């Protein structure tokens, strides 16, 4: 190897020093995601009947997502709607809806199986946590309107600052993700 | 009789329906209204086939095809409903597999059936086990050409506390109507209105309790649903365990559907010799006790109160408690325990040398039973003596009604029970004059031609020497019949003794009747055969306060008003914290009849297998293992330590081979049971206190989010550290 070769190599290094970096300094900077990125599930709602109210949940607790799940990550337990204060349209709603995010392989088959379009794979991916049971997400963690993942909300509750997600979706969330907004 | 189905020739007995010919030939036809144990009516029109028969000429011979020399087949001009058509000699049948006409007709019928069906399969409890769903997939077009609005009706119409009717889903197959008319003989349901407005309803306001749950099983769609299991799980999520019901001595075949360790549903299984396809409401809906308020850990009395303990601590407490009692230990078990559990108890009693062992409920003396349930169903005269079958053995009532209907046992084919037995007719005529009921008023009275109010064991002597015209008529009925059956219930058996048996034997011998003495408990007949009764000087169950120390398995004498404690030390082995368990010194958790492996003997002496359903029972142990713990506490080597050991013990002593039983059970010759005084009378009661379902009490068993977010802070980080975890 000659001195010339070393100088060539150093020249490349030097030229890259003045170019815009391709890396993103996540998490200070937001990572850019495509809308079709498959992340944490969102349980969507129907549009509200009256402004200011929450719409009915689309999920009817039919367990077809659990049947389609190749990783056996979903557990659904249904119950009967109170006719005066229904949770979902029809007779049946999901009383328990849990997805074990450690088991989930984010394949999207649950979304395909869902007859009402209730479970949709969102774009959130920052779910790293310490305890197994904190990675079993319930309805409280997945219904539309819940910001961030469980560790992010825990951090926000501790620091008193709003939840900050570490990604952006320049094209906006998919239309299937009814009511979900991500930073653009 | 030779019938050709799609070119396959099959040989069938005369009278077979075309649908059975098709299935016997291994071909398939969709059907909704036909049902193995109900009359064929041809309501749904799905089982269309093309059929043709040879025709006989003037000479009485088949007209021959000139080209082939074979009988010429004259095809019927249009597809025929195969369930109501009788197959005849030389008939040719074409199914959808070989005939496009049939395929089109069936797909068209399916389109009509689905015209008003709401297609809310995701919310329907029948989804995944629905005949309509499967058949629409197999035989339908896959899409409807009708775009107009569907019929709208009440989707949540409670026919009773147990059965919910969804009128939109009903496809008018009439199975439920025919079931009530033909099986329990109750005319309660019917079609109301006509055409597309037809709906099922009852005028009476509610369904009669007893056998109403069966309509949820036979409904081919999700119109009639089990309200106790409503929305508890989807059909593919349940763990299905075929087993035997141990609530009464009939021993019906059931399938236990459990999910997540909770018993959610019981459906009937088929056993042609025992319950056919029908079970009682207690067996179907009275299962909630298996998942509610279960005792899951041993309890030991410390300082006057019962505290949770480990099995090791419980064994230690028992060892302390049994000290000084020596062989003065009483062992008592519920009569719904399995034969293997009874064997373990007898073996332990022999090892201790105690004569105080007993099962409950039982009678002091039980006459020999010779009749089987098939004998009951085919009898030409039935006399019921002092039995309230609704409380003692409900399904026997259905078999008696079957006898009144003509006692037709369904034929068997390559595909199993005949799907459409053409001998069965809609709204069958019954012969109440063939049934005499002597005893207190019960549900069976309405069906009996001869009713005599009587009570106590002298009913038999009154029947043998009749003093009233009704009793004379009952005796004449027995004398005039060819295959009479005499059914004895608790009212006469409570006071029975050897003299009673002799009187019964002479009466039965004189009239040629078979006898069916209903045992008091689910396996009383089996446990009595093991001589699991107090020996000389032993204390019966009702006198368990006479023994120094007692082990009581799944019995609640305190709630019955009997002494709930032995004189010195009491161990209770139960699934719930009963009144007796509350008095005990040590309480061991038990398992219910749904969670046992073993064998039981039903009222006709049939060995029936029990299988273990996957229910959450905590540290609950069956009686064999609990007795092993007791033996350990007593300082002796347990003679029987497991199921296999108990079966070896039974084979060695009684020659019973229980390891591989056929699914339908195995009839055993009757074995005389030893007589032993009980000290108290048995009152039959089918619905026990914890069996009644409370919808609001049926929680999910899943930890709520509140419980999980209580520990919002991580245990590994007790104080918040600034700057996060990195």
Q: What residue ranges do the domains of chain A occupy?
A: 28-168
Give the tens place of pLDDT for each residue, A21-59: 888 999 899 999 999 999 999 999 999 988 888 899 999
Contact B237 A66 (CB under 8 A): yes
Contact B122 A155 (CB under 8 A): no
Mutate to test the interface with B, among A72, A77, A126, A134 (most CBs of B within 10 A): A77
Contact A63 B714 (CB under 8 A): no
d(CA B413, CA B690): 42
Sheet (strand B239-244) strand order = B239-244, B253-259, B262-268
Residue of A nearest to B703 (CA): A96
d(CA B592, CA B286): 13
Phi then psi for residue B532, to 5 deg, are -85, 60
Mutate to test the interface with A, among B157, B231, B717, B723 (most CBs of A within 10 A): B231
pLDDT of residue B389: 93
pLDDT of residue B717: 43
Domains belonging to chain B, first-starting first, are 2-98 (3.10.20.740), 299-364+524-678 (3.40.50.740), 373-412+423-517 (3.40.228.10)
**Share above pLDDT 90 across residues of chain B, in percent, rounded to a whole number:** 75
DSSP letters, B457-526, are: THHHHHHHS--SHHHHHHHHHHHH-SSEEEEE-HHHHTT--HHHHHHHHHHHHHHT-EEEE--SSTTHHH
Chain A (61-90) residues lying within 8 Å, Cβ to Cβ, of chain B? 61-64, 66-67, 75, 77-80, 90
pLDDT of residue B696: 57
DSSP letters, B579-591, are: HHHHH-SEEEE--
d(CA B151, CA B412): 40
The residue-averaged pLDDT of A3-15 equals: 94
- Other C-beta atoms closer than 10 Å to the C-beta of B677 total 13
- B708 reaches A (C-beta below 8 A): yes
Cα B30 vs. chain centroid, distance in angstroms? Answer: 28
The residue-averaged pLDDT of A63-86 equals: 92
Query: Are the CB atoms for B147 and B39 separated by under 8 Å?
Result: no
Query: Are the CB atoms for B174 and B220 separated by under 8 Å?
Result: no
Query: Are the CB atoms for A25 and A123 separated by under 8 Å?
Result: no
H/E run at residue B403: helix B394-404
Sign of CA dihedral A111, A115, A117, A118: negative
Residue of A nearest to B127 (CA): A62
Burial of B312 (0-12, 13-18, 19+ CB in 10 A): exposed
Contact B122 A116 (CB under 8 A): yes
pLDDT of residue B17: 96
Confidence of residue B693 (pLDDT cuts 50, 70, 90): confident
Contact B237 A95 (CB under 8 A): no
Nearest to B122 among A64, A80, A131 (CB): A64
Sign of CA dihedral A175, A177, A180, A182: negative
The three-state secondary structure class of B201 is strand
Contact A91 B156 (CB under 8 A): yes
Chain A (79-138) residues lying within 8 Å, Cβ to Cβ, of chain B? 79-80, 90-92, 95-96, 98, 115-116, 130-131, 133-134, 138
d(CA B179, CA B37): 9
Contact B120 A63 (CB under 8 A): no
pLDDT of residue B701: 46
DSSP letters, B19-54, are: HHHHHHTT-----SS--TTS-----S---EEEEEEE
Name which of B390, B389, B402 is nearest B489 in CA terms.
Answer: B389
Tokens of residue A52, six digits: 């200011």
Phi then psi for residue B377, to 5 deg, are -70, -25
Q: Which residues of A are annotated as a binding site?
A: 59, 62, 65, 69, 104, 107, 110, 114
Query: Are the CB atoms for B171 and B221 separated by under 8 Å?
Result: yes
d(CA B702, CA A79): 13
Q: Give this prediction's pTM.
A: 0.91
pLDDT at B722 over 70: no
Strands B73-75 and B450-453: unpaired
Contact B123 A92 (CB under 8 A): yes
Contact A98 B702 (CB under 8 A): yes
pLDDT of residue B724: 44
Q: How close B659 comes to chain A (CA, Å)?
A: 35
A15-23: long-range pairs with CB below 8 Å, 24+: none
B232 contacts in chain A (CB < 8 Å):
78
The residue-averaged pLDDT of B458-479 equals: 91
DSSP 8-state code for residue B106 = H
pLDDT of residue A167: 94
Give the tens place of pLDDT for each residue, B295-332: 999 999 999 999 999 999 999 999 999 998 878 999 99
Confidence of residue B70 (pLDDT cuts 50, 70, 90): confident
pLDDT of residue B712: 41
The residue-averaged pLDDT of B458-469 equals: 90
Among 2.60.120.10, 3.30.70.3270, 3.40.50.300, 2.60.40.10, name the CATH number for the domain at A28-168.
Answer: 3.30.70.3270
Q: Tokens 């109160």: give the residue.
A: B305
Residue of A nearest to B706 (CA): A140
pLDDT of residue B715: 42
d(CA A180, CA B321): 66
Q: Which residues of A are annotated as a binding site for [4Fe-4S] cluster?
A: 59, 62, 65, 69, 104, 107, 110, 114
pLDDT of residue B457: 79
The residue-averaged pLDDT of B75-88 equals: 95
d(CA B566, CA B579): 14
Give the tens place of pLDDT for each residue, B492-524: 999 888 999 999 999 999 999 999 999 999 999
d(CA B279, CA B250): 10
d(CA B305, CA B302): 6
d(CA B243, CA B228): 20
Name which of B514, B511, B518, B512 is nearest B496 in CA terms.
Answer: B518
- B440 reaches A (C-beta below 8 A): no
Q: What is the largest CA-CA distance in chain A?
A: 85
pLDDT of residue B144: 86
- B123 reaches A (C-beta below 8 A): yes
Q: Average pLDDT of chain B?
A: 90
Residue of B nearest to A80 (CA): B231
A64 contacts in chain B (CB < 8 Å):
122
Residue of B nearest to A116 (CA): B122
Cα B694 vs. chain centroid, distance in angstroms? Answer: 21
d(CA B347, CA A170): 78
pLDDT of residue B155: 87
Residue of B nearest to A151 (CA): B712
Q: How close B200 comes to chain A (CA, Å)?
A: 20
B708 contacts in chain A (CB < 8 Å):
133-134, 138
Phi then psi for residue B316, to 5 deg, are -65, -45
Phi then psi for residue A170, to 5 deg, are -60, -30
d(CA B553, CA A103): 43
Give the tens place of pLDDT for each residue, B9-57: 999 999 999 999 999 999 999 999 999 999 999 999 999 999 999 998 8
Count the alpha carbons within 13 Å of B664 in the hemisphere toward its beta carbon. 10
A98 contacts in chain B (CB < 8 Å):
702
Mutate to test the interface with B, among A60, A86, A91, A134 (most CBs of B within 10 A): A91
Q: Tokens 């081979």: give the residue.
A: B657
A116 contacts in chain B (CB < 8 Å):
122
The residue-averaged pLDDT of B267-274 equals: 94
pLDDT of residue B698: 52
């Amino acid at each position: 190897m000659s001195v010339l070769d070393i100088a060539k190599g150093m020249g490349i290094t030097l030229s890259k020093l003045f170019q815009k970096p391709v890396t993103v300094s996540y998490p200070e900077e937001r990572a850019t995601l495509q809308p079709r990125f498959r992340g944490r599930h969102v349980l969507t709602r129907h549009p509200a009947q009256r402004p200011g109210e929450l719409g009915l949940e689309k999920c009817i607790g039919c367990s077809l997502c659990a049947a389609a799940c190749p990783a056996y990550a979903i557990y659904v337990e249904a119950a009967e709607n109170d006719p005066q204060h229904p949770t979902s349209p029809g007779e049946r709603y999901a009383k328990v809806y849990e997805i074990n995010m450690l088991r989930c392989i984010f394949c999207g088959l649950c979304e395909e199986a869902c007859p009402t379009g209730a479970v949709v794979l969102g774009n959130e991916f920052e779910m790293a946590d310490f305890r197994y049971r904190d990675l079993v997400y319930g309805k409280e963690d997945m219904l539309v309107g819940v910001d961030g993942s469980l560790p992010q909300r825990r951090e926000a509750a501790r620091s008193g600052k709003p939840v900050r997600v570490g990604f952006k979706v320049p094209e906006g969330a998919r239309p299937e993700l009814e009511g979900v907004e991500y930073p653009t | 009789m030779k019938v050709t189905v799609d070119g396959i020739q099959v040989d069938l007995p005369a009278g077979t329906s075309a649908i059975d010919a098709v299935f016997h030939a291994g071909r398939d036809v969709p059907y909704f209204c036909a049902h193995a144990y109900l009359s064929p009516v041809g309501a749904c029109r799905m089982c269309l086939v093309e059929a043709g028969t040879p025709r006989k000429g003037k000479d009485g011979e088949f007209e021959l095809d000139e080209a082939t020399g074979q009988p010429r087949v004259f095809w019927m001009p249009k597809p025929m409903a195969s369930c109501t058509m009788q197959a005849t000699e030389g008939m040719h049948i074409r199914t959808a597999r070989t005939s496009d006409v049939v395929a089109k007709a069936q797909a068209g019928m399916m389109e009509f059936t689905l015209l008003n069906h709401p297609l809310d399969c995701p919310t329907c409890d029948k989804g995944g086990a629905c005949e309509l769903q499967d058949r629409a997939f197999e035989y339908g077009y896959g899409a409807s050409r009708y775009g107009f609005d569907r019929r709208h009706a009440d989707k949540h119409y409670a026919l009773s506390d147990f059965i919910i009717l969804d009128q939109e889903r009903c496809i008018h197959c009439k199975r439920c109507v025919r079931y009530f008319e033909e099986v329990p003989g109750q005319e309660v349901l019917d079609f109301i209105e006509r055409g597309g407005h037809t709906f099922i309803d009852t005028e009476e306001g509610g369904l009669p309790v007893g056998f109403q749950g069966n309509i949820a099983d036979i409904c081919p769609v999700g119109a009639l649903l089990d309200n106790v299991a409503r929305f508890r799980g989807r059909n593919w999520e349940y763990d299905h365990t075929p087993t035997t019901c141990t609530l009464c001595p009939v021993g019906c075949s059931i399938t236990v559907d459990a999910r997540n360790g909770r018993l959610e549903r019981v459906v009937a299984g088929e056993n042609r010799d025992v319950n056919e396809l029908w079970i009682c409401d207690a067996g179907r809906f009275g299962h909630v006790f298996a998942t509610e308020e279960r005792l899951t850990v041993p309890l030991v009395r410390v300082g006057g109160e019962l505290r949770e303990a480990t099995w090791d601590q419980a064994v230690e407490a028992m060892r302390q408690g049994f000290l000084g009692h020596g062989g003065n230990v009483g062992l008592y078990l519920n009569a719904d325990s399995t034969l293997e559990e009874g064997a373990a108890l007898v073996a332990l009693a022999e090892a201790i040398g105690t004569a105080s062992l007993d099962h409950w409920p039982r009678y002091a003396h039980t006459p020999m039973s010779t009749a089987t349930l098939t004998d009951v169903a085919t009898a030409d005269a039935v006399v019921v003596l002092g039995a309230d079958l609704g409380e003692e053995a409900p399904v026997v009532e259905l078999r008696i009604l079957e006898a009144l209907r003509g006692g037709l046992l369904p034929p068997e084919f390559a595909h199993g029970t005949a799907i459409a037995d053409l001998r069965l007719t809609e709204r069958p005529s019954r012969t109440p004059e063939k049934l005499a009921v002597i005893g207190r008023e019960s549900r069976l009275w309405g069906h009996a031609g001869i009713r005599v109010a009587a009570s106590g064991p002298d009913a038999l002597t009154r029947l043998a020497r009749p003093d009233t015209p009704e009793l004379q008529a009952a005796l004449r009925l027995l004398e005039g019949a060819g295959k009479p059956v005499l059914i004895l219930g608790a009212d006469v058996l409570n006071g029975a003794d050897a003299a009673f048996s002799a009187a019964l034997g002479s009466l039965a011998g004189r009239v040629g009747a078979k006898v069916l003495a209903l045992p008091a408990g689910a396996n009383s007949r089996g446990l009595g055969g093991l001589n699991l009764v107090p020996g000389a000087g032993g204390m019966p169950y009702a006198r368990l306060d006479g023994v120094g120390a007692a082990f009581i398995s799944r019995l609640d004498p305190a709630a019955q008003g009997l002494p709930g404690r032995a004189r010195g030390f009491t161990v209770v082995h139960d699934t719930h914290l009963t009144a007796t368990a509350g008095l005990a010194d040590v309480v061991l958790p038990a398992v219910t009849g749904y969670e046992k492996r073993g064998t039981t003997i039903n009222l006709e002496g049939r060995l029936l297998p029990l299988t273990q359903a996957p229910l959450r029972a905590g540290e609950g142990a069956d009686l064999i293992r609990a007795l092993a713990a007791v033996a350990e506490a007593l300082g002796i080597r347990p003679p029987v330590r497991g199921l296999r050991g108990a079966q070896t013990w039974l084979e060695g002593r009684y020659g019973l081979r229980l390891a591989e039983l056929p699914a339908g059970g195995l009839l055993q010759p009757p074995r005389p049971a030893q007589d032993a005084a009980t000290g108290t009378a048995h009152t039959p009661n089918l619905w026990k206190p914890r069996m009644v379902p409370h919808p609001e009490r049926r929680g999910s068993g899943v930890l709520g989010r509140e419980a999980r977010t209580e520990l919002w802070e991580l245990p590994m980080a007790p104080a918040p550290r600034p700057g996060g975890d990195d």
